[in-house]
Amino acid sequence: MLTIHDYDPELAQKYREIEAVLYDILGKAVEIHHVGSSALGISGKNIIDILIGVPKMSDMRPAADKLVKAGYFEGGETEEQRIFLASRREDTKDGDVHVHICVKDSPVFTDFLVLRDYLRAYPDELAEYEAKKREFAMQSGGDRREYRQLKSSYIIQLLEKAHAAIAQEKPQEY
C-alpha cells in the first residue's frame, strides 16, 4: 500500500552514507546522483532514489550483479536502458533505497538529472509536483501500479517543460 509521507531530512544524510558504500562496491568509474523526492526535499514515499551512471551498456549488468551480491534485489521495473534494484524484495517501505543503473549521458540518465535540476530551479513546479503526487496517491487508492501510471504521464509533461526551459537558456549559435 502506497503512502505519501512528509519529507524526512535524515534521508539526505542516509543518501551520503549509501553513496560512499556504492562507490566502494562499484569504483570511481561510475557516476552517482541523488534523485527523486528525497533529493528535492519534498514529501513522497521517503525512498532514496539513486541514479548510477556507468560508462557503457556492457557495464550495466556487472554493476547490477555487484549490487545484488551486496544485498540489493532486482525489481520488475528493469528495462533495456535501465536496471532497477531495490533494498528490499518485498513491498517498498519508508526509508528504502531504489537504484537505477543507466549508461552515463544516455537519454534515461540525462532525464533523471534534467527533471531533478528543473524542479530545484522552479519552486512553483516543485510545489505542483508535490501536490500532484499526493493527488495521484489518493486517486490510486494507494495502489502502486496505478500511482506509477498516473505519475508517469505527469513526469513526461514535466520533462517536456524541463527540456524546453533548457533549450531557451542555451545561447543561440550564429
The pTM of this model reads 0.92
The C-alpha atoms of residue 32 and residue 34 are separated, in whole angstroms, by 7
Comparing CA positions, the residue from 156, 160, 60, 66 lying closest to residue 104 is 60
105: left (phi over 0), alpha (psi -120 to 50) or beta: left
Q: What is the pLDDT of residues 31-81, one digit of tens each?
A: 999 999 999 999 998 899 999 999 999 999 999 999 999 999 998 777 889
Per-residue confidence band for 93, with pLDDT thresholds at 50, 70 and 90: low
CATH no. of 10-168: 3.30.460.10
**The pLDDT of residue 161:** 95
Domain ranges (residues) in the chain: 10-168
Q: In what helix (H) or strand (E) does residue 33 lie, and over which residues does it extend?
A: strand 31-35
